[in-house]
Structure 1
Amino acid sequence: EPYIAYDLSFRLSCGAAGGIVLFSRPIRQRLEKLPGFLADSLSVCAAANILLIPLLTDAFAVLPAYTFLANLFVGTVLEGLIVLGLAAAVMSFIAAPAAHVILLVLKPLLHLAVGGNYFLAALPYSRLPVGAMPFYAVCAYALVVAGLFWCKFRKPCLLLACAFAAFGAGLWYNQKDDVKVYIFDVGADRATCAVDTAGQAYLWYNKSRTGRGGVIASVLVPAMRHAGIFTLAGAVVEGADTDKTAAEVNANFSLKGTVEQGHGKENTYIFADTGRPYVLLRGSNASVPPGAVGEVYAEGLAAGDVTADFLILSGRRHAYVPGERVAATADCGEIKVRRHKNRWYVKTCKGDVYEIR
């Protein structure tokens, strides 16, 4: 099955196994002064996570902080569970009643292991929010790992890692004054997050009456965390059932401000001080100022209703606007917009890129 390479659990398993094969022995040799059981557990746990860090940040945008504790305590219980499970499987062919007895012993141990993981995950600071590692950071990390574990290539690897780190720092410095807008594909709902030059994030969410529940937790939160957005300076929720939507936003984000409910913001100007403002529209008959980038929250937008230098349609059903450059979430999914050096750049998840001079 070639598509299994895209399965997250498969990649996590291969990454952990590969890390243990490559790194557990050299790590164990450096922990000789520790007690044997502790050194074994720590070396295997550390080795298993070395190759997983880029994958974990990309998939979950967080890193677990208590991995070693989970491996030391819960992992010990799991080893017993594996042995008992194999014993029960064998005994089921020899003496079924004995297999049932083993399974009775296994059940509370299973609950103990699962409960232990939940307990550790619920502890404060159990997850370190980091966002997804950019490409140059992954390259620098891989080169540092290679330099630490393969002495023969240590110097060139570490020099290349420094070069990638310097490149990343320069890229960050060159783009640090960017403002960004994320238009997320959340089905029938609408979601836009704007990040200003100070890094403050503001969320606008419109809940559709036909939209399914749980979209914020299952779709919006992972997408925003992947972009490194964990804290909101403010949020506005509109549409149907704003009380429930506001409660979901409060439950899933750390908020510096408050969640406003039901306050429609027609013609909201985002980043109005940029010279070419980003305009958020709630109706199809609203006007867009000359030179603006407009985003329309409207269903069944008719041709010519709204004019703008660039129009983003976040409705599920829309008509193409003749003579205008248009990007639509219905066609290309999530859309990212950023302003850099007095220009807007629009990129879709399909790889389409537009430059707005």
Structure 2
Amino acid sequence: MGNSRKVYFETYGCQMNVNDTEIAWSILQRKGYLRTVELNEADVVLLVTCSVREKAEQTIWNRLKQLTAMKKRRKKSLAPMKIGILGCMAERLKTELLEREKLVDVLAGPDAYRDLPRLLTVADGGRQASNVLLSLEETYADIMPVHHAPHGNSAFVSIMRGCDNMCTYCIVPFTRGRERSRPVSSILEEVRMLSDQGVKEVTLLGQNVNSYRDLSEEQFCSSGPTRLSEGFQTVYRSKQGGLRFSHLLDRVSRVDPDMRIRFTSPHPKDFPDEVLHLIAERGNICRQIHLPAQSGSSKVLKAMRRGYTREAYLDLVQNVKRIVPEVSLSSDFISGFCGETEKTTSRLCL
């Protein structure tokens, strides 16, 4: 039990890490911990970390040295401060984090937040504690996140975890594991709660948000294969059955007609026409779509294992504009990918 000890969170990186912070806090709150926004009051400091960029990791290493110095200066009359690393960096650098200058007391990977109370108990006994096991099933569906600003106008709702795409430049499948989706019922419960709190905008969140697939109810497990955007393919075997993203988007948008619905981050392959028609028809689904391109060269896209060509991507853009004429599109690119030349780089302007 937490015995009213105070926990201080610092969150780095993507919005998924913000959501992970809310999940971790929900678990610790149930065990009697208190939350503080004052670092000097903290008995436990937990850093929710990112490994996508080298700079993000270096920031954490520097912060750990600062916290360790603070821990050593702490008055002996107070309980020793415990320092923990959560999330992607814990998964990727577990051995180094535990051994390098003994900066960390607790390590918990993205699928190990339920184990935080036990890990902290082990650390209280003077030992380092670690759980970085990835799961094929963990979605935290039964844990309602404690939204840090419950009276705000907007909130993020995690609908899935992990990714199966295995793009050659991306570390997410190795730090967050395989793709898993929360049951629709769990997501709807959270959206209803946010609506009751007066939240006016919800963003559905996932590493590959529109590849959502709920297999929790047996009657949906035998449905047909996944429909992809025209001209797109996957690097993995085609999946069967389940409630898809269009079903979820439909159900979520009906909870509160006055609540705006967004989603991020999608993959271009998962925009079949039924998703686009739903966006066009439903008034509270925002006409704003982030559509990552990553490269304007089919050769580079193949090296990235993205599953589409430049031509297929451009055809998709035209299809989106045809079905949702008033849509606002945004994209992102990776420039300087391995083997890329000035000729391919010059084609990034679509």
Q: Same fold (TM over 0.5)?
A: no
Larger RCO (alpha carbons 8 Å, 6+ apart): 2
Q: TM-score, normalised by structure 2?
A: 0.26
Q: Kindly indicate which of the two structures has a greater share of residues assigned to helix.
A: 1
Q: TM-score, normalised by structure 1?
A: 0.25
Q: Kindly indicate which of the two structures has a greater share of residues assigned to strand.
A: 1
